[in-house]
Amino acid sequence: MLETLSGPWHWFVSGAVIALVLVLLLFFGKSFGFSSNLRVICAACGAGKVNSFFDFNWKAQTWNLLFLVGAILGGFISTTWLSDGEPIQISQATVQDIQELGFAAPQDLQPQELFGSEALSDLKTVLVLLVGGLLIGFGTRYAGGCTSGHAISGLSNLQLPSLIAVIGFFIGGLIMTFLLLPLIF
């Protein structure tokens, strides 16, 4: 059993478990949307004193912060007890494309070039992560949600705005992948 769970999960199993998370939160009287936590963190740090967008009863969102803590624990549990140590198997075409950008073939779940211990001493890598984070934080709040809030929750409720947002995610993702990454790396 543990051996089966320790290998990579099939996309169908993975998608079904994500849908289960969505349904569990609905039955808890909540809605699945992770990026709201970023606004809650701003508010909890006192941003409400500076700007009215962060002046709301963020404590009512404590449940989502607990969900966030659980997500970190889930990552820890996966890497500690549910890992077979095998490198990630991605398409050979992708391996070739990222090698042209200067990334080595996958050895782990994440590239050393961005997330290894030496990444922090490289100014360019720090800037890439910082700017990438800024775009994620700004964009998700502007769009009113991220992959969970729009692509999963919103599309499950057949919301046209969520479809527009997801189309936006892909336009941005394709511009970054095909136009900007070759300039950055």
Partner 1 sequence: MKGLKYILTGILFGIVMSKSEAISWYRIQEMFRFQGFHMYGIIGTAVILGVTAVWLIKKYNLRDFQGNPILFKPKEKSVPRYLIGGIIFGLGWALVGACPGPLFVNIGHGFWPILIAIVGAVAGTFLYGLVRSRLPH
Q: Which of 49, 59, 70, 86 binds partner 1 (CB under 8 A)?
A: 70
Cβ burial of 35 (10 Å; 0-12, 13-18, 19+) is buried
- Each residue 74-93 as x (binds partner 1 by CB under 8 A) or -, in order, gives xxxxxx--x-----x-xx-x
Cβ pair 42, 54 in contact under 8 A: yes
71 binds partner 1 (CB under 8 A): yes
The SS3 call for residue 173 is helix
61 near partner 1, rule: CB under 8 A: no
* x-marked contacts with partner 1 along 152-171 as a string, rule CB under 8 A: xxxxxxxxxxx-xxxxxxxx
Minimum distance from CB of 1 to partner 1 (Å)? Answer: 14
Cβ neighbours of residue 43 closer than 8 Å, sequence gap 6 or more: 54, 55, 56, 58
Which two structure tokens, joined as six digits, stand for 18? 């994500």
Q: Does 138 bind partner 1 (CB under 8 A)?
A: yes
Binding residue (CB under 8 A) for partner 1 from 73, 86, 100, 182: 73
